[in-house]
Chain A
């Protein structure tokens, strides 16, 4: 699809708005529908679109496999670290209120961090699934 100017232009135009929309869903998640799962899939869709149009190699240059693995691990550990932090501050596991001591700010910070972790991991898992399957076809073609 690299040769087709329509695809290239459309992909370039859409890339940023898709990520923007993903971020909107991400940060909307703590007081309405949305959250890390959906946002992660949307943000990953932007990168997958990029890789579909400009080729797998170009996609792997934007987010390398190594970076992707780090993102995956970082997301999960962020989630868990919130749980550990709330325990260290005298609450139960994932008791956000214990993070700051106040229900409003504690729950707010807690859920934002946890959703951030979920979003990061979902994005990178979607990407690695895409590259795993696409890479399989690539290997067969060789």
Chain B
């Protein structure tokens, strides 16, 4: 039995959450549904850790679903890049689930909780599958599973704020456009190569004789993923979706959703089109790098002018996604590994921040904005301290995870000797301190307004919140595991082959 589980780890990682979802939909009890979700998320996390330990030394697992040989059957591929992404996503998914119980019970009707957790598991399972699959069309299926379920989760914020419905609908429509672009691109490439398996595509594309069709197909696939990853200027769905969704959902989506799309983007550019650098490299240096820098600045500036806390950090996510995309756009091993480091660290930072905001919102019973959180540092010290740690990490203060990200990104940029980009990265980092300072000043240095109600702390989220805050410090002091894993991920991606 043990051997059967090890062989089938890639399938189990996806199948367990996807199969627990319908069971959860039938449950009436919110706590039972939550426990089921916790089991699903936990077993995915364990599976991802096991896969990581198998693949960290460059082993590549190829899993044939239904025992059909690729390129005919659907193949799951796990190499060191996949498993690092999976560990980050499943880990943060698990922590977000831990925090969900309390956050959900304050915002979601008990009657709907079973279905809420079902959608929660569909999002997770869909995104895990998205990362593992090596079949370009199967990827589209997972994309749809996770997108439809996330639209449901976002819309469930309607219980507290009706604008969640509009945000969910926007996400549904814009996300569908992105997925359609992707599938059109796959169609073009399929017409040229006659295959849907990514490794097989990569081998056949150089022989397919270039031509406009390949360029168009590539363009559609990349454009679709840019929408899904919320890269400027197609990021507009993200701020509303993150800020009106229930707090627990913001945590989950901020930590894992766009990461999967960024990973797929890297797969398309480096794996599928790795054999035709004349297409891939132009797209990276002429499109992705400028867009990434645009996103960094727009996201940061919008965050500075925003008074609503959730929306502020949603805008900041756009900027952080820009940093990740910038690392990919550099096309060097150092750049790609900096991206992976930031994928992990940003998940930790934003997971913690949205969890803490969820705690504030639950205590305040209202949206968190610069007015309502005045003096909250003294009113809810334990949550606010964790928030402060994650905030400092976002700013990139030394001894936090965010610093390691910035350090490796700056080093990677220096290596390519593009000083303009370097200057822009440094300026934008300085700008991000502006909005963080605005919040911290209000939270810690201003006294709470007189006659403000006493806020009850939310002990149920201490454990997950402090795991994340501690992670931010831990990976700031000893990042050797993460850096090594990110290096081998970059080698696996740039080395060619799925």
Q: Which residues of A contact B (CB under 8 A)?
A: 69-70, 72-74, 76-77, 80-81, 83-84, 87-88, 90-98
Q: Which residues of B contact A (CB under 8 A)?
A: 1, 4, 7-8, 11-12, 15, 18-19, 21-23, 25-26, 63-67
Q: Do residues A73 and B15 form an inter-chain contact, with CB atoms below 8 A? A: no
- 12 interchain pairs (CB within 8 A)? A72-B22, A76-B21, A80-B18, A80-B19, A84-B15, A91-B67, A92-B7, A93-B11, A93-B65, A93-B66, A95-B67, A97-B67
Residues of A within 8 A of B15 (CB): 80, 83-84, 93
Residues of A within 8 A of B12 (CB): 87, 93
Residues of A within 8 A of B64 (CB): 92
* CB within 8 Å for A84 and B26 given contacts A92-B66, A93-B11, A93-B65: no
Residues of A within 8 A of B19 (CB): 76-77, 80-81, 84
Distance of A51 Cα from B155 Cα, bound (Å): 29
Q: Which of A81, A93, A95 has the most CB of B within 10 A?
A: A93
Distance of A90 Cα from B64 Cα, bound (Å): 14
Residues of A within 8 A of B23 (CB): 73, 77
Q: 10 more A-B contacts (CB under 8 A) besides A76-B22, A92-B66, A98-B67?
A: A74-B22, A76-B19, A80-B18, A88-B1, A90-B4, A92-B7, A92-B8, A93-B66, A96-B66, A97-B67
Identify the closest chain A residue to B66 (Cβ).
Answer: A94
Least CB distance, A21 to chain B, in whole angstroms: 28
Distance of A17 Cα from B66 Cα, bound (Å): 35
Distance of A91 Cα from B1 Cα, bound (Å): 11
Residues of B within 8 A of A97 (CB): 67
Least CB distance, A41 to chain B, in whole angstroms: 18
The secondary-structure label for the interface of chain A is helix
Distance of A98 Cα from B7 Cα, bound (Å): 15
Residues of B within 8 A of A77 (CB): 19, 22-23
Least CB distance, A81 to chain B, in whole angstroms: 8
Q: Do residues A69 and B67 form an inter-chain contact, with CB atoms below 8 A? A: no
* CB within 8 Å for A69 and B25 given contacts A92-B63, A92-B67, A97-B67: yes
Residues of B within 8 A of A92 (CB): 7-8, 11, 63-67
Q: Do residues A73 and B26 form an inter-chain contact, with CB atoms below 8 A? A: yes
Distance of A69 Cα from B111 Cα, bound (Å): 14
Considering the complex of A and B, which 5 residue pairs feature the smallest CB-CB distances, nearest first?
Answer: A73-B22, A93-B11, A95-B67, A80-B19, A94-B66
Residues of B within 8 A of A94 (CB): 65-66
Distance of A96 Cα from B26 Cα, bound (Å): 28
Residues of B within 8 A of A76 (CB): 18-19, 21-22
Identify the closest chain B residue to A97 (Cβ).
Answer: B67
Identify the closest chain A residue to B64 (Cβ).
Answer: A92
Residues of A within 8 A of B63 (CB): 92-93
Distance of A45 Cα from B18 Cα, bound (Å): 28
Distance of A92 Cα from B11 Cα, bound (Å): 8
Residues of B within 8 A of A69 (CB): 25-26
Least CB distance, A95 to chain B, in whole angstroms: 4
Identify the closest chain B residue to A91 (Cβ).
Answer: B67
Distance of A73 Cα from B19 Cα, bound (Å): 9
Identify the closest chain A residue to B11 (Cβ).
Answer: A93
Least CB distance, B448 to chain A, in whole angstroms: 44
Least CB distance, A118 to chain B, in whole angstroms: 13
Least CB distance, A36 to chain B, in whole angstroms: 16
Least CB distance, A137 to chain B, in whole angstroms: 19
Q: Which of B1, B7, B66 has the most CB of A within 10 A?
A: B66
Residues of A within 8 A of B26 (CB): 69-70, 73
Distance of A83 Cα from B15 Cα, bound (Å): 9
Q: Do residues A95 and B22 form an inter-chain contact, with CB atoms below 8 A? A: no
Least CB distance, B20 to chain A, in whole angstroms: 9
Identify the closest chain A residue to B14 (Cβ).
Answer: A93
Least CB distance, B101 to chain A, in whole angstroms: 22
Identify the closest chain A residue to B10 (Cβ).
Answer: A93
Q: Do residues B22 and A83 form an inter-chain contact, with CB atoms below 8 A? A: no
Identify the closest chain B residue to A81 (Cβ).
Answer: B19
Least CB distance, B205 to chain A, in whole angstroms: 28
Residues of A within 8 A of B4 (CB): 87-88, 90
Distance of A128 Cα from B26 Cα, bound (Å): 15
Least CB distance, B258 to chain A, in whole angstroms: 27
Residues of B within 8 A of A91 (CB): 67
Residues of A within 8 A of B11 (CB): 83, 87, 92-93
The answer, among B8, B21, B22, for a CB contact under 8 Å with A87, is: B8
Identify the closest chain B residue to A98 (Cβ).
Answer: B67
Distance of A37 Cα from B361 Cα, bound (Å): 44
Distance of A80 Cα from B125 Cα, bound (Å): 13
Residues of A within 8 A of B1 (CB): 88
